[in-house]
């Protein structure tokens, strides 16, 4: 019923466009069971003004040396990835803090259009797999689409209140509903084209949202890793769902190519 109300409200209301932003946060969610999502990664940058690392984006560990995130999370600042965390405030024994070797953003990433907003972060050393740190498998369905009305989950350490610049200490999650592309394109008409490589999702009430600091995090539907948090409205809006980069066939091929090439080069160097 909520989904029907959401659809009707969109079709009946004349919607004014609110600019989207890069950097999302969990609004209206709840704390996850500690270490129940061992694939979650906190991508952090070194803040010179305060003298320590701060959370910038989320991501998912897909291989021992690779974290998948959003291209707009790329930073020229000193960057590291923290795995095995529940609290970012406390130096938990479960945490692994790894330096970043290289950031591989998609060559056709377009910031204004939110197109190809996908990036692989190559770690300087392998993550140690255990009960606190584990891999999130890429979809085995060759990038199949997600049906409108499907309930999916987003997790992250983004701020929990609108207009806040402070990351959440504890990992949060929220459930959202996938919105039909035709409806989403109507909402963003003239400002953004929702392509077949994107999906939209929201709660229809403007109370729950992947919203700052949660960009790049995994969007999981029925237990399957389906998309990456990309963008959303400046303030949670019942009539404006967030945008996610679908792990489509072309992106799965891109991931395989990047990881494959890097693995091949590393092996060749070791041989010589």
- Catalytically annotated residues: 72, 117, 215
What is the Cα–Cα distance from 65 to 78, expressed in whole angstroms? 18
Helices (H), the chain: 2-12, 181-187, 249-271
Structure tokens at 161: 């209140």
What is the Cα–Cα distance from 89 to 83, expressed in whole angstroms? 14
Burial degree of 92 (CB within 10 A; 0-12, 13-18, 19+): middle
What is the Cα–Cα distance from 16 to 135, expressed in whole angstroms? 41
Torsion of CA 10, 15, 19, 23, to 10 degrees: -20
What is the Cα–Cα distance from 37 to 49, expressed in whole angstroms? 31
Q: What are phi and psi of 84, to 5 degrees?
A: 70, 25
Tell me the C-alpha to C-alpha distance, in Å, between residue 228 and each of 1, 2, 210, 264.
27, 24, 11, 26
Show the CA angle centred on residue 127, arms to residues 121 and 131, nearest 5°.
125
């Amino acid at each position: 019923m909520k989904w029907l109300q959401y659809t009707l409200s969109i079709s009946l209301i004349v919607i004014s466009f609110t600019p989207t932003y890069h950097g999302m946060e969990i609004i209206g969610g709840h704390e996850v069971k500690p270490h129940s999502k061992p694939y979650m990664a906190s991508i952090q940058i070194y803040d010179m003004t305060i003298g320590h690392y701060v959370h910038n984006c989320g991501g998912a560990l897909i291989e021992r040396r690779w974290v998948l995130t959003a291209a707009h999370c790329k930073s020229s600042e000193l960057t590291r990835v923290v795995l095995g965390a529940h609290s970012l405030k406390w130096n938990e024994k479960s945490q692994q803090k790894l330096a970043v070797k290289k950031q591989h953003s998609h060559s056709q990433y377009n910031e204004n259009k939110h197109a190809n907003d996908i990036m692989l972060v190559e770690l300087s050393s392998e993550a140690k797999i255990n009960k606190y740190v584990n891999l999130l498998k890429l979809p085995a369905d060759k990038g199949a689409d997600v049906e409108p009305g499907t309930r999916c989950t987003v997790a992250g350490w983004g701020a929990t209140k609108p207009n806040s610049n402070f990351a959440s200490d504890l990992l949060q999650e929220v459930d959202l509903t996938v919105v039909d592309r035709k409806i989403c394109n109507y909402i963003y008409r003239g400002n953004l084209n929702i392509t077949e490589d994107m999906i939209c999702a929201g709660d229809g009430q403007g109370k729950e949202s992947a919203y700052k600091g949660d960009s790049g995090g995994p969007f999981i539907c029925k237990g399957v890793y389906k998309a990456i948090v990309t963008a959303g409205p400046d303030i949670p809006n019942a009539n404006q769902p967030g945008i996610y980069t679908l792990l489509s066939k072309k992106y799965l091929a891109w991931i395989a190519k990047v990881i494959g090439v890097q693995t091949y080069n590393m092996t060749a160097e070791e041989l010589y």
